């Protein structure tokens, strides 16, 4: 078995198999992907035509949730786990437009995201941004490294957008959320998006099966009850667990109903 940590990020990039961060970038209309990512991305779209809308709705949810947190909720620290490749309106850009002193730590384990991390590190002078190359399966390491930039005695918004779906075991995923929530004080928040088969999305299940046979990392959908289970003991913010396209998306912003839950919850 090779020791990934001893390699340079460029050497860890597997360009022969589709990777989630790069295919997600393709669906969002970005340019940071390989031919294999386009091929798998197109196959998934042919089976599940609304996947592009899911990706766009998820990013739009990120914008509304971070605006709520930096604005109404007064949060100044963000731990964005499963960041993805830089795109428009990354977490620090949305947060620092509202609160220039906001501090953001990005975490991802995909080497291609690491190679693009510079674009995520353009902080305001008053705030701070950092990037941590780490695996969501190791929340203790994430908290330890993130504490170089974030003060874990003050509220933190833990962002888990489109990532717990890559932790296939629900008990393990619940344990990860618990350990992260245990590391932050009262007044902190958890922000989640997660794919589901409960909100429709024709071809969603077949497309996930295709993904798991042809791309990496493998993915799973979850029910609303399973996603709510991640948030046991937390206060779910209005409007609750809904399609991420419907979370505080009044008026012109309201997009199509997508099969991806979005939810924000507060640690009491
Ligand atoms: C679907 S993308 C979501 C990106 C962004 N959060 C968003 O909502 O647009 C999932 C991201 O999670 C990352 N990821 C997947 N498994 C991971 C793990 N075990 N640890 C850290 N990051 C992971 C992928 O590399 C990818 O960038």
3-state helix, strand, coil in the chain (%, to 5): 40, 15, 40
Q: E strands along the chain, which residues?
A: 18-19, 77-81, 103-108, 128-133, 157-161, 189-195, 215-216, 235-236, 242-243, 260-266
Residue 110 CA, ligand 1 centroid: distance in Å: 8
Asked, as a colleague might, if the bond just before 217 is cis with ω within 30 of 0, I would say: yes
Ligand 1 pocket test: pick from 29, 51, 82 the residue with the most ligand atoms within 8 Å of its Cβ.
82
Minimum CA distance residue for ligand 1 atom 12? 82
In this prediction the pTM is: 0.94
Structure tokens at 62: 């990120």
| Helices 35-47 and 204-214, packing angle to 10 deg | 150
The C-alpha atoms of residue 164 and residue 137 are separated, in whole angstroms, by: 10
If the chain, 268 residues long, is cut into consecutive pieces of 10 residues, what is the mean pLDDT of each piece? 49 79 94 92 96 95 98 98 94 98 97 88 94 97 98 98 98 98 98 95 90 96 98 97 92 73 98
Is 143 within 8 Å of 152 (Cβ atoms)?
A: yes
Q: Which of 111, 115, 86 is nearest to 19 (CA)?
A: 111
- Of 236, 242, 235, nearest to 260 by C-alpha is 242
pLDDT (tens digit per residue) in 121-157: 899 999 999 999 999 999 999 999 999 999 999 999 9
Q: State how far the Cα of 185 lies from the Cα of 106, in Å rounded to an integer.
A: 20
Closest-lying ligand 1 atom to the alpha carbon of residue 166: 16
CA–centroid distance, 189 to ligand 1, in Å, is 19
């Amino acid at each position: 078995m090779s020791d990934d940590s001893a390699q340079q990020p460029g050497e860890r990039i597997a360009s022969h198999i589709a990777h989630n961060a790069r295919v997600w970038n393709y669906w969002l209309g970005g340019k940071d992907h390989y031919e294999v990512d386009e091929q798998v991305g197109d196959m998934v779209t042919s089976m599940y035509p609304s996947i592009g809308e899911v990706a766009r709705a998820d990013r739009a949810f990120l914008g509304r949730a971070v605006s709520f947190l930096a604005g109404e909720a007064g949060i100044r620290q963000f731990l964005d786990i499963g960041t993805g490749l830089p795109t428009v309106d990354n977490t620090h850009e949305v947060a620092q437009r509202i609160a220039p002193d906001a501090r953001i730590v990005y975490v991802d384990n995909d080497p291609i995201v690491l190679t693009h991390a510079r674009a995520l590190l353009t902080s305001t002078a008053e705030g701070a941004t950092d990037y941590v190359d780490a695996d969501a399966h190791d929340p203790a390491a994430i908290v330890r490294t993130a504490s170089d930039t974030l003060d874990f005695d003050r509220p933190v918004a833990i962002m888990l957008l489109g990532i717990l779906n890559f932790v296939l075991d629900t008990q393990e995923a619940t344990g990860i959320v618990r350990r992260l929530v245990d590391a932050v004080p009262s007044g902190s928040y958890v922000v989640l998006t997660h794919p589901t088969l409960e909100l429709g999305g024709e071809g969603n299940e077949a497309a996930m099966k295709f993904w798991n046979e042809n791309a990496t990392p493998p993915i799973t959908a979850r029910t609303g009850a399973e996603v709510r289970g991640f948030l046991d003991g937390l206060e779910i913010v209005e409007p609750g667990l809904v399609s991420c396209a419907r979370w505080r998306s009044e008026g012109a912003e309201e997009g199509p109903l997508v099969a991806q839950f979005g939810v924000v919850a507060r640690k009491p």
